[in-house]
Structure formats: structure tokens, C-alpha cells
Amino acid sequence: MKHAPILILDEPTSALDAHMEGLLVNTLERLMKGCTTFIIAHRLSTIRKADRILVLDHGTLAEQGQHAELIANDGLYARLYRQQLNFAQHQPLLRTAK
């Protein structure tokens, strides 16, 4: 990938499992150094380390801040993050039950 001053990633991990997501995120962290990056993501683990997270709710800015700050505020981001974390923790159980 050519180094660019601005990088826009739209759902870069949406089709990846947790292991591949981790590998991609580590690679992207190196590529993003020194450039402005916009990551559009529903999978919140992808953006956990972002300098600033913008949370949209029906097209309106609902919250903004860093991951720890948004979790502490216990708003929409925190609720969505907990839902995704709970779902991810139960995934192995769902696969085993099939």
C-alpha cells in the first residue's frame, strides 16, 4: 500500500474472524503512523485504540472521545461495546452447540 497522508478504511474487518482481525489491526497500526486515518466500523474492537472515536446514532453525532472515556461515560458506545463483547464471548459456545 502506498503511503498516503489520509487513509480511509470502510469496515476493514467486517468479514474477518477475531484472529485475522487482530493481525490486520496490527498491520494497519504500522501503516497508519504519520497519517490521518478514518476508520468506519461497526466492530468496535477495530477502533479501540483510535485517538478519537465518533459515535453516530441515526446520522447524528451522539458521542465522541477515546475508548476509555466513552466506556466511563456509559453511553451508547459503552452499551454497544458491551453487547459486542458479550456476543464474542458466547460465540465458541454457539459453535459447539451446533
Q: Check residue 95 and give its pLDDT.
A: 52
Q: Check residue 92 and give its pLDDT.
A: 56
Give CA–CA dist 68/87, Å, rounded: 20
pLDDT averages per 10-residue partition of the chain, 98 residues: 76 80 82 85 86 95 97 96 79 52
Q: Check residue 91 and give its pLDDT.
A: 58
Q: Check residue 90 and give its pLDDT.
A: 57
For cell 461515560, the residue is: 73
Give CA–CA dist 73/75, Å, rounded: 6
Main-chain dihedrals φ then ψ at residue 61, nearest 5 degrees: -70, 115
Secondary structure of 5-33 in the HEC alphabet? CEEEEECCCCCCCHHHHHHHHHHHHHHHC
Element (H, E) at 65: strand 60-65
